[in-house]
Structure 1
C-alpha cells in the first residue's frame, strides 16, 4: 500500500557534504519503501547542494541559514503543494537508521495515528548521549506532556512522519526549531500521535545545529513553548497568572489587615496596602484579558478551519 502512496523523505542540511550522500543513497536503496528525497539546504557554504543533487535528491536552497524551523516549513509547503501522502523527516548525518522509516510511516498508513515521532529514550539514555543533554530533553518533554496531557517521551527527536492531513493543518511560528511546536499544535487539534522507539548514534565531536549550546537551546525552546501555551490555551494561561497575582494581593493585603486589627493603624505598612490593592486590580484586569483571549482563540480556530478548507481545494 505504501508503494501506491506518495512519500517524501525530507532532510534538513547545513554543511553536510561529508555525510548526506550516504544517507540519501541508503534511503533510495530501501526495498520496502518507494519514495522521493528532498534536501533543504539551509544556507550551506560547502558542496551540500551539489552532492545531494548528484545523489538523486531534489534540493531547495536557502540563501542564508534560517534555522531548522524554517527549513521544515519549506519542506512542509513543498509536500503540501505537490500532494504527498506522507512526509518523513530525518537528519543528514546518518544518526538514525533509515530502515526505521517504515516503522514511522506504518501507524499512519494503518490509520492508527496521524503523525509519528521517534523515541530515542525508550531504553533510557542512549549510549554516548551527554547526560546534561538527556536531562534537558527530558525536562522539556515533561513540560510538553503537562501542556498536552499526553505523556511524550521524546519531544525533541527530529526523526518523524506526518500524514498529509497533519501537514495542511499545521500553523507554525517558530523559526528556531519546530519539534515541540508541531506536537503542541497537532495534539491541540486532536490529531493522534504514535511514539516509535528508534535507534540513534552519537558521533564524537559532532555538534548539534539546534542544541549546540544547551542554555541557548533551553531559552529559545522555552520561548516557543511559552508562546504556544499562550496561543493554544489562552484562558488557562492568563487565568493562572491572574490567580498568582490575586494570591499575592491576598497575602500582602491580609498582612496589612491583620496589622490594622491588631494596632488600629495601617502605618508603617500603608504602601504595602496600596500595593496589594494594585495587585488586586491587576488580577481583575488579567481575568478580563483571559476572557478576551479565549474569545480571540475561538476566532483563530474558526479562521484555521477556513484556511484548512481552502488548502483542501
Structure 2
C-alpha cells in the first residue's frame, strides 16, 4: 500500500442548483471518507446554506464562492482545501444524485495500490448501460472522447466529461490549479495537465442514474465549443513532449508528415485548379508527385501516432512523491 494504512480521503461536491439532492448524496457517503467539502458556487438556491442548516454530518465543511465560477472553479476550491488539510486522496462527486457514492472504493483503490494517480469513471464500459443514456449525450460523448484522446495523450481512456473522479493529493499539489479551465471543459483540461506531468490515469467502469436532475451541459454545443480547446491543447502537448522536453524519432516523423501532406495539398490543389481552368488533363508526373507525397505523409503520421500511443504514462507518480515527502519529514 502506497499511502498510509488509513488513507485520508476527502470528497468534493460542487453545489449549484442541487438543493433537492445534495443532502441525500452526503448521507450515502461511506465511513472511509474523512472530509466532505460542499462548494457553494454562488448558488441562487443557497445550496451551501441549506447544507449548513439541515445537514448533520460532522465531516462536512461548506466552502462559499461569492461569484459563480463554474464546476471547475468549485472543484479547484475543494482540491486546495484537501491540499491544505493534508489529505491523501480527493474524490469529486456531483451533488445531483447521478453518481453513486457506493462506488467510491472502486475509484480510490487504484490509487491506494499505486497503479494510478487519477481514476475517472467510464459510463461506456458496460454496453447494456449505454442504452439508458440519453441519445444526445451518448453520441456527444463519443465525439468528445475521440478529441480528448488526441489532446491529452491518454489514448486508452474514454468518457472524458465524466465527473466522477479520484485524484492523488500529492499530484494535485503539482498541478497549476489556477490555469485549469473553470467550466465544463474542466475534466478534459485536467487530463491534459496530468499528461504534462506524466501521471498515470485509469478508467473505472460505472453506471449513471438519470432521474429528475437538470443537466446544465448542452452536449451538442459542447462538441463544437470544445473542438478549438482540444486543438489548442493538442498543439501544446505536442510542443511540450516532442520539441521542448525531448526530441525523438517521433518528432521527426511528425515534421515529415506535416511537410509532405502540406506539399501534397498545395501542389496537387494548385495543379488541379490549373487543369480545370485550362481544360487540359494533368500529366502523370503532376498527379503522381502529390499522390506519393500524401501516401508517404500519412505513413509518417501513422508512425507518429503509434509512437504516441506506445508512450502513454503507465507508472504512477504519487508513490515517488510520498516517499520523497517521508524522507524530508524524517530529516526534520
Question: TM-score if structure 1 supplies the norm length?
Answer: 0.73
The structure showing larger relative contact order (alpha-carbon pairs under 8 Å, at least 6 residues apart) is 2
Aligned to 2:40: 41
Confirm or deny: 8 A CA contact 1:119 1:198 kept in the other structure.
yes
CA distance in 2, matches of 1:253, 1:110: 58
Confirm or deny: 8 A CA contact 2:140 2:220 kept in the other structure.
no
> Which of 90, 95, 98 is the aligned partner of 2:93?
90
RMSD: 3.0
Question: Unpaired segments of 5 or more residues in structure 2?
Answer: 244-250, 281-320
Deviation at 1:255, TM superposition (A): 4.8
Question: Unpaired segments of 5 or more residues in structure 1?
Answer: 264-307
Deviation at 1:17, TM superposition (A): 1.2
Deviation at 1:84, TM superposition (A): 1.3
Aligned to 1:247: 264
Deviation at 1:35, TM superposition (A): 1.6
The correspondence of residues 22-61 of structure 1 with structure 2, limited to 5 A, is 22-27=24-29, 30-31=30-31, 33-54=32-53, 55=55, 56=57, 57-61=60-64
What are the superposed Cα offsets for residues 65-117 of structure 1, whole Å, 9 maximum, x if unpaired?
21112222222222222221101000101111111111100110111111101
Confirm or deny: 8 A CA contact 2:73 2:183 kept in the other structure.
yes
Aligned to 1:170: 175
Q: Secondary structure at the match of 2:265?
A: helix
Q: 1:249 to 1:70 in 2, by over 3 A?
A: same
Aligned to 1:195: 203
The correspondence of residues 140-289 of structure 1 with structure 2, limited to 5 A, is 140-147=144-151, 148=153, 150-171=155-176, 172-177=179-184, 178-204=186-212, 206-209=213-216, 211=217, 213-234=218-239, 245-255=262-272
Count residues in correspondence. 259
Confirm or deny: 8 A CA contact 2:107 2:204 kept in the other structure.
yes
CA distance in 1, matches of 2:232, 2:225: 11
Question: TM-score if structure 2 supplies the norm length?
Answer: 0.69
